[in-house]
Chains A and B, each alone.
Chain A
Amino acid sequence: MNELVILVVEDEPEVRDAIVRDLESLGPKIRIDQAESVDDAEGALREAKADNDSIGLVLADHRLPGRTGVDLLVSLHENPDTRHIRKVLITGQAGHQDTIRAINQAALDHYIAKPWEPEILLEIVVDQLTGYVIDRGIDRLAYLDVLDAPRLLEALADGPGRPD
Chain B
Amino acid sequence: MTTPSGPSRRQAGIALAGLWFVVVLAIGDAGDLTTESSRMLAIFGAAVVLWVTEAIPLSATSIMVILAEILLVSDEAIVATSEGFDAPPYSGFFATLAHPVLMLFLGGFVLADAAAKFRLDRNLAGVMLKPFGQSPRSILAGLMTITAVLSMFMSNTATTAAMIAVVLPVTARLERDDPIRTALVLAVPVAANIGGLGTPVGSPPNAIALGRLADEGISIDFLKWMMLAVPIMLVVLVFGWLLLTRLYPANATTVDVRVGGEFDRSGHAQILYVVFAMTILGWITEPLHGIPSAVVGFVPVVVLLTTNVIGVDDLQKINWHVLWLVGGGIALGNGVGATGLDDWLVALFDWGSLSTAILAAALALLALTMSTLISNSATANLMVPIGVSLAMSPAVDLDPVLAGVIVALSCSLAMGLPISTPPNAIAYATGSIQPRDLARTGITIGLFGLVLVVVIAPPIWDRLGLL
Interface string of A64-79 (1 = CB under 8 A from B): 0000000000000000
Is the C-beta of B425 less than 8 angstroms from some C-beta in chain A? yes
Distance between Cα atoms of A145 and B171 in the complex (Å): 13
The residue of chain A having its C-beta at the shortest distance from the C-beta of B1 within the complex is A162
Specify which of A145, A154, A160, A164 is in contact with B165 (CB 8 Å cutoff).
A154
Is the C-beta of B307 less than 8 angstroms from some C-beta in chain A? no
CB distance from A127 to the nearest CB of B (A): 16
Q: A142-B429, A164-B204, A164-B376 are in contact. Are A153 and B162 (CB under 8 A)?
A: yes
User: Which residues of chain A are near B317, meaning CB under 8 Å?
Assistant: 158, 160
Distance between Cα atoms of A144 and B376 in the complex (Å): 24
Contact A144 B426 (CB under 8 A): yes
Contact A163 B375 (CB under 8 A): yes
Contact A150 B421 (CB under 8 A): no
Is the C-beta of A141 less than 8 angstroms from some C-beta in chain B? yes
Interface string of B303-332 (1 = CB under 8 A from A): 000000000000001010110010000000
Contact A141 B203 (CB under 8 A): no
Contact B164 A161 (CB under 8 A): no
Contact A145 B162 (CB under 8 A): no
Contact A162 B162 (CB under 8 A): no
Interface string of B164-191 (1 = CB under 8 A from A): 1100110000000000000000000000
Specify which of B156, B165, B203 is in contact with A149 (CB 8 Å cutoff).
B165
Q: Which of B399-443 contact A (CB under 8 A)?
A: 412, 421-423, 425-426, 429-432
Distance between Cα atoms of A93 and B400 in the complex (Å): 77
Contact B377 A149 (CB under 8 A): no
Specify which of B164, B169, B325 is in contact with A163 (CB 8 Å cutoff).
B325
Interface string of B121-161 (1 = CB under 8 A from A): 00000000000000000000000000000000001111001
Specify which of B156, B168, B432 is in contact with A164 (CB 8 Å cutoff).
B156
Q: A163-B322, A164-B156 are in contact. Are A145 and B431 (CB under 8 A)?
A: yes
Residues of A within 8 Å of B, CB-based: how many? Answer: 17
Contact A164 B377 (CB under 8 A): yes
User: Which residues of chain A are near B203, meaning CB under 8 Å?
Assistant: 164
User: Which residues of chain A are near B169, meaning CB under 8 Å?
Assistant: 150
Is the C-beta of B196 less than 8 angstroms from some C-beta in chain A? yes
Interface string of B232-269 (1 = CB under 8 A from A): 00000000000000000000000000000000000000
User: Which residues of chain A are near B431, meaning CB under 8 Å?
Assistant: 144-146
CB distance from B388 to the nearest CB of A (A): 20
User: Which residues of chain B are near A164, meaning CB under 8 Å?
Assistant: 155-157, 196, 203-205, 322, 375-377, 412, 421-423
The residue of chain B having its C-beta at the shortest distance from the C-beta of A141 within the complex is B429
Is the C-beta of A133 less than 8 angstroms from some C-beta in chain B? no
Is the C-beta of A94 less than 8 angstroms from some C-beta in chain B? no
Interface string of A132-159 (1 = CB under 8 A from B): 0000000001101110011001101110
Is the C-beta of B58 less than 8 angstroms from some C-beta in chain A? yes
CB distance from A4 to the nearest CB of B (A): 14
CB distance from A158 to the nearest CB of B (A): 6
Chain B residues touching A, range: 35 or more
User: Which residues of chain A are near B155, meaning CB under 8 Å?
Assistant: 161, 163-164
Interface residues of A, dominant DSSP:
loop
Is the C-beta of B116 less than 8 angstroms from some C-beta in chain A? yes
CB distance from B56 to the nearest CB of A (A): 14
Contact A156 B161 (CB under 8 A): yes
Contact A163 B204 (CB under 8 A): yes
Distance between Cα atoms of A153 and B168 in the complex (Å): 11
The residue of chain A having its C-beta at the shortest distance from the C-beta of B2 within the complex is A162
Distance between Cα atoms of A154 and B432 in the complex (Å): 19
The residue of chain A having its C-beta at the shortest distance from the C-beta of B377 within the complex is A163
CB distance from A152 to the nearest CB of B (A): 9
The residue of chain B having its C-beta at the shortest distance from the C-beta of A146 within the complex is B431
The residue of chain B having its C-beta at the shortest distance from the C-beta of A142 within the complex is B429
Contact B158 A144 (CB under 8 A): no
Contact A162 B375 (CB under 8 A): yes
The residue of chain A having its C-beta at the shortest distance from the C-beta of B316 within the complex is A160
Q: Which of A145, A153, A163, A164 has the most CB of B within 10 A?
A: A164
User: Which residues of chain A are near B422, meaning CB under 8 Å?
Assistant: 161-164
User: Which residues of chain B are near A162, meaning CB under 8 Å?
Assistant: 1, 157, 375, 422
User: Which residues of chain A are near B1, meaning CB under 8 Å?
Assistant: 162
The residue of chain A having its C-beta at the shortest distance from the C-beta of B432 within the complex is A145
User: Which residues of chain A are near B426, meaning CB under 8 Å?
Assistant: 141, 144, 153, 156
Contact B429 A150 (CB under 8 A): no
Distance between Cα atoms of A156 and B155 in the complex (Å): 12
User: Which residues of chain A are near B156, meaning CB under 8 Å?
Assistant: 164
Distance between Cα atoms of A153 and B321 in the complex (Å): 20
User: Which residues of chain A are near B116, meaning CB under 8 Å?
Assistant: 157
CB distance from A30 to the nearest CB of B (A): 13
> Nearest 5 pairs between A and B by C-beta?
A145-B431, A141-B429, A144-B429, A157-B161, A150-B165
20 A–B contacts from the bound complex (CB under 8 Å): A141-B426, A144-B431, A145-B430, A146-B431, A149-B165, A149-B168, A150-B165, A150-B169, A153-B162, A158-B317, A161-B157, A161-B319, A162-B157, A162-B422, A163-B155, A163-B321, A163-B322, A163-B376, A164-B196, A164-B205
A contact set with B: CB distance below 8 Å: 141-142, 144-146, 149-150, 153-154, 156-158, 160-164
Please name 5 further chain A to chain B contacts, defined as beta carbons within 8 Å, in addition to the given A157-B157, A164-B412, sorted by A numbering. A150-B165, A153-B165, A160-B319, A163-B325, A163-B376
